Amino acid sequence: MQIRKNQGRVVHSSLSFIFQVVEMGGSLLQKYDATTASFIPHRGVTPLVLQPQLIVSDPDGTVATADYVSQMRNVSWELTLMSGGSSSTLPATSGAVTNYAVDSTTKRLTLFRNVQPQEVVHVRFFGQYLDARRNEVFDFEWTRDCSTEVQTDLNITLDTGQWRSKVRMIPMRRWGQFGIPVQLKNGPENIADADASYQWQWWNAATNAWSEDFSEQAWLVSGEQTKEITVDQDFIQDVRLRVMAIAFGNVNTAQYFTTRLQRWYGQFDYDVEFLRGKYIFHDTDTVVLNAWVANAKGKISSPCMYFDMELFFAIGTGDFESVGYGEEVIIKRNGLQGGQPKAGILLRELSAFRALCEDNGTPLCLDDGTPLFAQFPTKSRQV
Amino acid sequence: MNALKYYIISHRDAARLGLTGYRQGTPEKGYVVHSGDFVGATEDFLERAKLVSEQEALDFIKTLKHE
């Protein structure tokens, strides 16, 4: 007698799935600074990571709730590059350059490629999960577009520190060789020298235009193409300088700063006095004249460095006669008793050093070619 | 628009910030991160980080690939 059989079945409830792709380390939307020609961020440095997650949960509790992405099958990441109306598959590598990489265990996609502003990279994930108990296959698909947004909202300024548009340089206050620093900024941050260019110019009154030819400008020391030009006070009479600063090679960012440097004496007083000979006796044969110049800070030492000082002397009703140049003059002569002695001074400001030239404009030079410079009174002699 | 800054930080700091999973680097040489990765972190992380230019960061990554 045979056993009669009947077959029962194990009933598994259908699984629940939560599938998602987590963006890590960046975003699908990249930014591009058109002015600096840089990606923000540069994915070659800090790549975008897309991590799929498949959370499986079983209402019956026979399958532990967890991330089963590593058990997915037929997983593929497809990246399609769309540009200029055409599309092509983006390979994982282009020569020695890695565009993206996929981890075989975690199924993670790491995107190293920057997406150009005119491009879109379409990213597609596909994977399957097999529920072996019910012999069911579940498909999971995820798509997104990677694109880039162009930004040009710069705030370029030129920081000139304490420099003003007009600077008066008192010769008695020694500036010597000094720099005029400027700095391009983007917002509060300095723009690196590698990303900025500076060109100094001077106003050529003869041509009525700004000039970048400094070959005959003795006041230039150095730095006409840097952010700090260095000039020499001794050679500056009246110079207008301008700097044109350009950020990131983009002429639209050009910033200008103009400053006028002037030799300026300000307020001063001067006089000539008798050191000897104010009172003429019968045997007096020497008169010593001494001149001084003073400003608000007191008497100026070595005034001949800054002034042309011509001293005059007269007796009685006689005319003034020039007796010499400098701070002190000694007059030794007979016949001083002929009348009241009088002293005079003609004081003229000296110019900055200027090249000595022949009538035809050719500069005078030493044998070694060094040009000769001299200072001249800035006003004509009126006696 | 403030430029993004790149830094190299130690493995310890990268681990504490939870960056080792997706930033490029090694436990020995450290990891390249950017200023956005410090959001929410205390200032001492930034003080220990070494600021590098974009090119220096790329050069650093090249040294990782040659190992």
Distance CA A67, CA A54 (A): 5
In one letter, which amino acid is A354?
R
Q: Could you say which of A24, A42, A153 has the minimum Cβ distance to residue B22?
A: A24
- Taking CA–CA distances from B57, the nearest residue in chain A reads A45
For chain B, counts of helices (H) and of strands (E): 3, 4
Helix (H, G, I), strand (E, B) or coil at B11: helix
A272 and A320 in contact (C-beta within 8 Å)? no
Q: Is B3 close to A44, i.e. CB distance below 8 A?
A: no
Q: Is B23 close to A151, i.e. CB distance below 8 A?
A: no
Helix (H, G, I), strand (E, B) or coil at A325: strand
Residue B2 has pLDDT above 70, yes or no: no
CB neighbourhood size of A335 (10 A): 8
A138 and A21 in contact (C-beta within 8 Å)? no
Domain ranges of chain A: 16-151, 156-263, 269-349
What residues of chain A lie within 8 A of the CB of B14, using their CB? none
Nearest to residue B12, comparing CAs of B23, B33, B35, B28? Answer: B28
In one letter, which amino acid is A309?
M
Q: What is the pLDDT along chain A (383 residues), one digit of tens a residue?
A: 788 888 888 888 889 999 999 999 889 999 998 777 889 999 999 999 999 999 999 988 888 999 999 999 999 999 999 988 889 999 999 998 999 999 999 999 999 999 999 999 999 999 999 998 888 999 999 999 999 988 876 789 999 998 999 999 999 988 999 999 999 998 888 999 998 999 999 999 999 999 999 998 999 999 999 999 999 999 999 999 999 999 988 787 899 999 999 999 999 999 999 999 888 888 888 999 999 999 999 999 999 999 999 999 998 888 899 999 999 999 988 777 888 899 999 999 999 999 999 888 888 999 998 899 999 999 988 77
Give domain A16-151's CATH architecture. Sandwich (2.60)
Residue B67: predicted pLDDT? 61
CB neighbourhood size of A184 (10 A): 24
What residues of chain B lie within 8 A of the CB of A110, using their CB? 22
What is the number of CB-based contacts under 8 A between chain A and chain B?
A: 50
B6 touches chain A (CB under 8 A): yes
Residue A10: predicted pLDDT? 84
Distance CA A142, CA A99 (A): 20
ipTM of the shown complex = 0.92
Residue B44: C-alpha distances to residues A6, B13, B29 (Å): 72, 10, 19
What residues of chain A lie within 8 A of the CB of B24, using their CB? 45-47
Q: Which fold has domain A156-263?
A: Immunoglobulin-like (2.60.40)
pLDDT cut 70: percent of chain B above it: 93
B2 touches chain A (CB under 8 A): yes
The torsion angles phi and psi of A176, rounded to 5 degrees, stand at 60, -140
Distance CA A239, CA A262 (A): 6
Residue A152: predicted pLDDT? 73
Residue B66: predicted pLDDT? 65
What residues of chain B lie within 8 A of the CB of A49, using their CB? 21-22
Q: Is A189 close to B32, i.e. CB distance below 8 A?
A: no
The H or E element that residue A82 is part of is strand A73-83
Find residue A94's DSSP bridge partners.
Answer: A97
**Per-residue buried b or exposed e for A51-74, using 16+ beta carbons within 10 Å of the residue's own CB:** bbebebebeeeebeeeebbeebee
A218 and A353 in contact (C-beta within 8 Å)? yes
Nearest to residue A189, comparing CAs of B9, B52, B56, B4? Answer: B4
Q: Is B54 close to A38, i.e. CB distance below 8 A?
A: yes
- The residues near A1 (Cβ < 8 Å, ≥ 6 apart) are none
Q: Could you say which of B6, B21, B22 has the minimum Cβ distance to residue A45?
A: B6
B57 touches chain A (CB under 8 A): yes
Find the mean pLDDT for residues B7-35.
Answer: 95
Mutate which of B2, B6, B22 to disrupt the A interface (most A C-beta within 10 Å)? Answer: B22
The H or E element that residue B64 is part of is helix B54-65
Supply the pTM of this predicted model.
0.57
Distance CA A30, CA A251 (A): 25
HSE-CB of A249 using CA atoms within 13 angstroms: 5
Residue A153: predicted pLDDT? 66
Q: Is B2 close to A187, i.e. CB distance below 8 A?
A: yes
Nearest to residue A289, comparing CAs of A247, A233, A250, A346? Answer: A346
Q: So what CATH class is A269-349?
A: mainly beta
- Taking CA–CA distances from A49, the nearest residue in chain B reads B22
Nearest to residue A265, comparing CAs of A291, A235, A230, A303? Answer: A303
Mutate which of A39, A45, A195 to disrupt the B interface (most B C-beta within 10 Å)? Answer: A45
> What is the dihedral angle through the alpha carbons of A128, A130, A135, A140, rounded to the nearest 10 degrees?
-30
B4 touches chain A (CB under 8 A): yes
- Taking CA–CA distances from B56, the nearest residue in chain A reads A45
A299 and A332 in contact (C-beta within 8 Å)? no
Q: Is omega for the bond preceding A371 within 30 degrees of 0, making it cis? A: no
Distance CA A47, CA B56 (A): 16
Domains A16-151 and A269-349 fall in the same CATH topology: yes
Strands A136-151 and A119-131: antiparallel
